[in-house]
Chain A
Amino acid sequence: MTRNPQLNANGELTHLLTLEGLPAAIVTHILDTAEPFVSIAEREVKKVPLLRGKAMFNLFFENSTRTRTTFEIAAKRLSADVINLNIGASSTTKGETLLDTVDNLCAMNADLFVVRHSQSGAPHLIAAHLTAKGRSHVHVVNAGDGRHAHPTQGLLDLYTIRHYKKDFRALTVAIVGDVLHSRVARSLIHGLTTMQVPRVRVIAPRTLLPTKVESLGVEVFNDMREGLSGCDVIVMLRLQNERMKGALLPSAGEYFKHYGLTGDKLALARPDAIVMHPGPMNRGVEIESPVADGARSVILPQVTFGIAVRMAVLSIVSAN
């Protein structure tokens, strides 16, 4: 097997593609680096000159507003130049291949690519291509690929958990909802196990769980009340509306009844448990408003921390 494609010859992070197999020391370094970045938003000039003169291309082959925007803000707070490509309306629809697009952008002196793609493995393919072409100074950050990974979301979830709970090694974390289609869940599970969280639970109907999900090192619960009992952290996943059209679920109302987070169910978790959600939320489907807006919800701090974590990732890969 070849070395981890995310790391350079010195074992330093040069691309961020997935949290699977990423050493705990690198994860900790990213979280530590993110911490002082949080306060930059409080300055009169909300910027530091770390990536001044670097060009970051947002390559979003799949729609996203929040992730693209937070990457853009992160890069701008580091003084990088940001170029957003509206791929849907451009070259790929004219037949250009992914790697030809990348080569053309490299000819425009790109330094960083932030990639979202509906195909699992697309960011990996770009990183391998850049290595093959000898462009080791160009870096790739995965902003979500297919059902595979969403590593910066996983990292910001880890940052949020560490911020409120301090020590990973004493926690029970429950991930609730559509684990089957969720790259957010996959990245978070890998991150939690890497950071030695002793109890990671997934709570979902069987139709929304991947087969052999236990092999990821999680406990499986089909009953939400049972699964939430004694939890320190509850991560709700978005139920994508398109899942309703298949035969996976009877109805949104039925789903909410069994897997929606209500104040009643939250009371089963530890009294200081926090509630997280990667957004966008479907109120009344996976979470009720009084919980989403309640004292235990850290959903908006997650967004704020997400910018600092992306600043950390961009500044670390750029230097390696």
Chain B
Amino acid sequence: MTPDGDWPDAEAALEALVERMRGAVAHDAALVGIYSGGAWIAERLAARLPGAHPLGFIDVSYYRDDYALSGLKPNTRRTALPFDVSGASIVLVDDVLYTGRSVRAAINELFDFGRPERIELAVLVDRGGRELPVEATYTGVRLAVARDRSIVLSRDPGGALSLCVEPVGVASDRPA
């Protein structure tokens, strides 16, 4: 993989996201990360934000709108929401907000577990390009990237996050 220009430091973007959420997020709000990048960020947020935040993970594969086009992705993970979704205040967490389709799928999936009191959205990177009326409540960093590039979040064995920009198609092969 070759670098594709300058991209921001993922850890700095995470710091910015923590600052925006601190004091604004309900002290008992559940953090639900969308696999896989969003799950890593949700774990980090849970450790950094004040209050006690139940942690959950969601795999939106069964709710995607492109199943008929591209089938089921390998390595689908088990959605795990170890708290009562009905009446819960939930912050969905994702790495990159782009078309808004993953968020639409995640909201649909959450409602199959119960009726949440409220759902907010926290993203590390907002790259614009929305195809649905979806906006983040909390954003780490905004970034303009060409349509033929995808932004990929990685986590090294020590847990440090990093961002890079790759041609579209490479990203789908990244390890979980």
Interface residues of A (CB under 8 A from B): 29, 32-33, 35-36, 39, 43-45, 47-50, 315-316, 319-320
Contacts and interface: CB of A to CB of B under 8 A. Distances in A.
Given A43-B112, A44-B112, A33 B79 contact: no
A39 B70 CA distance: 24
B74 interface: yes
A36 B62 CA distance: 10
B7 interface: no
Contact of A44 (B59, B62, B74, B114): B114
B170 interface: no
Interface string B53-78: 00000010011000110111011111
A50 B63 CA distance: 6
A33 B76 contact: yes
B35 to A, nearest CB: 11
Nearest to A48: B62
Interface in B74-113: 74-79, 85-86, 108-109, 111-113
Nearest to A312: B72
B108 A49 contact: yes
B141 to A, nearest CB: 32
13 contacts: A32-B74, A32-B75, A36-B78, A39-B78, A39-B79, A44-B113, A49-B62, A49-B63, A50-B62, A50-B67, A315-B72, A316-B71, A319-B67
Nearest to B114: A44
Contacts of A50: 62, 67, 72
A238 to B, nearest CB: 33
A37 B75 CA distance: 12
Nearest to B109: A48
A35 to B, nearest CB: 7
B48 to A, nearest CB: 29
Interface centre among B62, B77, B112 (most CB of A within 10 A): B62
A43 B78 contact: no
Contacts of B76: 33, 36
B66 to A, nearest CB: 10
A33 B72 CA distance: 9
B113 A43 contact: yes
A15 to B, nearest CB: 15
